[in-house]
Structure 1
Amino acid sequence: MDAAALRGPLAAALASLKERDRDVLLLVAWGQLGYEEMAAVLDIPVGTVRSRLNRARRLTRAALGSLEETR
């Protein structure tokens, strides 16, 4: 699958995430922030950053994986 084909499904997957999970995923992907930096920006513990990022990645991967299975 190429990037253009993923644009819509990726946007839908991101939109389905809770805002707090989406925030950490976007901060790491676009902002290229580290865990400590994200924790400071969001005013949350580093452990919370890690769990939110893990959940966001897992849910996004699952949403995109189901797209691959239907093709």
Structure 2
Amino acid sequence: MDCLPPEQLRVVQLSFYEGMAHAEISAVLGLPLGTVKSRLRLAFGRLRELLEDLS
């Protein structure tokens, strides 16, 4: 996960480690909901690429 940009890493941490909903993350970080969703989508895409490279 160190390969993710800090802003993407933060939303992944809040979503999966803290169990926060997208709307909660949006409120905590002061970001639009769409930005939170986009950052998560981009992070998942990057992580998927890295995991595929391992196989």
TM range, normalised to the smaller chain?
A: over 0.9
**Percent of matched pairs sharing the same residue:** 33
Equivalent residue, structure 2, for 1:19: 6
- The total of aligned residue pairs comes to 55
* Deviation by residue 1:6-64 (Cα, 9 ceiling, x = unmatched): xxxxxxxx111100001111111101110100001111000000000000011011101
**Unmatched 5+ residue regions in structure 1?**
1-13
Relative to its length, the structure with more helix (as a share) is: 1
**Larger C-alpha radius of gyration, 1 or 2?**
1
* CA-based RMSD: 0.6
**Structure 1 consecutive aligned stretches of length 4 or more whose deviation exceeds 6 Å:** none
Letter aligned with residue 65 of structure 1: E
SS class of match (1:16): coil
Equivalent residue, structure 2, for 1:39: 26
